[in-house]
Structure 1
Amino acid sequence: MMWEIFNIIGTIAFAISGTIVAMEEEYDILGVYILGLATAFGGGAIRNLLIGVPISALWEQGLLFLMAIIAMTIVFIFPKRTLKEWRKWELYTDAVGLAAFAIQGALYATEMNHPIIAVIVAALLTGGGGGMVRDLLAGRKPLLLQADIYGVWAMLGGLVIGMGLVTHPWQLYLLFSIIVVLRILTVFYNWKLPYRSVKDNQVSYKQMI
């Protein structure tokens, strides 16, 4: 029941996120729906492949598809003046989708009695996979593969759930809130993971601040 709730939250949040990105890239209405659906369901499809769930299970989520389409349509038909404000919400919808899907993926893997490493990977791919598909289709560098801290928060949620540290619904919602806040703080304070650059024949090291 809990992972279904987070599945609904994540689907709507990522559908909106994909729609906003599509409109920023000036896609037509078909492109908006394709990118929104790819964002909302891409992570779950990748997760299913890796943890042994048939891909056909994706097509059994008719209600979620309907919710996503309704959410995308609402965003698309908003007045132009209001749409300019949606760009400010892209970060928040993406953070909500990341947290909700990370928890949902971890719970899904846990219910299938997978080991903790599989739970962490399921959280990472479910939480970050949709955003990665979105960015690739939009011609952007995927957040999941940058020094920007994105997937780490999803993996943290998977680790907490995989270790059995959360057992009650209120604890899951608290974990959800923590991941959302951490992701937003990452952007506001420009937190980075260590990475190396070899541009201009020089090697530079960047540390998290």
Structure 2
Amino acid sequence: MAWDLLNFIAVAAFAFSGAIVAMSERYDIFGVIILGVATPFAGGIARNLFLQEDVIHIWEQGIFLYVAFGTIMIVYFFPKSWVMFWNRWNLYLDAFGLSAFAIQGAIFAMNHELPLGAVMFSAILTGVGGGVTRDILAQRRPMVLHTEIYAVWALITGALIGFGIIDYTSTVQLYTLFVAIIVLRLLSFHLNWHLRFRDLYRL
């Protein structure tokens, strides 16, 4: 139940992020809904397709879909002066969603008894898929394609769970990993960490 609650919050965070991006790009209500719904759900749908597992369509998401729609409507009726303010905080919402969905993706693969490679792949695709979809629909360069470290944190999440370093049946360990990935993602942004080889020589 504790992890289900976190998933509710993660869906709301990604829906909020997608809707804020759409509002900042001056999309109409249809565009706001599309980005707000795609951001929390596209990663999981893509993951299932690639892993050849049953796909839970957006309209079959149950309470999660209502959480997303409720969040989108709140954002849409924000005073317009608030949109740019919240857009500056989108990084934090994205870090929250990245961490939660990467863990969710790894757990999904583990529950289906998939091999290590599939666990890491599932963590990456679930963690970054929604953000990539949001950025593409908003005609922005996806963060996963930047030199800035982004998808690596989802990869590490999958590896830690796949190798059994983190016990995915332990709520305490999952929440510790969740917080750690958020902190590392934010540090990598604020400290300008990169994966460029030439930067390694400066360390």
TM normalised by structure 2 equals: 0.91
Q: 2:175 aligns with which of 173, 176, 181?
A: 173
Query: Do the aligned partners of 2:148 and 2:193 also contact (CA within 8 Å) in 1?
Result: yes
1:159-186 Cα distance to aligned partner (Å, 9 max, x none): 1111112221011001000111111111
Please report how far the alpha carbon of residue 75 of structure 1 lies from its aligned counterpart in structure 2 after TM superposition. Answer: 1.6
Q: Unpaired segments of 5 or more residues in structure 1?
A: 196-204
Q: Unpaired segments of 5 or more residues in structure 2?
A: none
Aligned match of 1:19: 19
Paired with 1:58 and 1:5, the residues of 2 have a C-alpha distance of 19
Paired with 1:3 and 1:51, the residues of 2 have a C-alpha distance of 23
Secondary structure of the 2:7 match is helix
Question: Compared with structure 1, are the counterparts of its residues 58 and 35 closer, same or farther at alpha carbon in structure 2 (3 Å cutoff)?
Answer: closer
Query: Do the aligned partners of 2:122 and 2:158 also contact (CA within 8 Å) in 1?
Result: yes
Q: Which amino acid aligns with 2:79?
A: P
Paired with 1:179 and 1:164, the residues of 2 have a C-alpha distance of 17
Runs of 4+ off more than 6 Å? none
1:54-81 Cα distance to aligned partner (Å, 9 max, x none): 2245432121111001011112212233
Please report how far the alpha carbon of residue 97 of structure 1 lies from its aligned counterpart in structure 2 after TM superposition. Answer: 0.4
The worse-fitting range, judged by mean Cα deviation, of 109-118 and 44-53 is 44-53
Please report how far the alpha carbon of residue 2 of structure 1 lies from its aligned counterpart in structure 2 after TM superposition. Answer: 6.2
State percent identity of aligned pairs.
47
Q: 2:190 aligns with which of 168, 188, 204?
A: 188
Query: Do the aligned partners of 1:9 and 1:100 also contact (CA within 8 Å) in 2?
Result: no
Please report how far the alpha carbon of residue 148 of structure 1 lies from its aligned counterpart in structure 2 after TM superposition. Answer: 1.2
Question: Compared with structure 1, are the counterparts of its residues 96 and 3 closer, same or farther at alpha carbon in structure 2 (3 Å cutoff)?
Answer: same
Paired with 1:77 and 1:142, the residues of 2 have a C-alpha distance of 27
Please report how far the alpha carbon of residue 206 of structure 1 lies from its aligned counterpart in structure 2 after TM superposition. Answer: 5.2
Paired with 2:141 and 2:166, the residues of 1 have a C-alpha distance of 34
Question: Compared with structure 1, are the counterparts of its residues 166 and 56 closer, same or farther at alpha carbon in structure 2 (3 Å cutoff)?
Answer: closer
Query: Do the aligned partners of 1:99 and 1:180 also contact (CA within 8 Å) in 2?
Result: yes
The count of residues paired between Structure 1 and Structure 2 equals 200
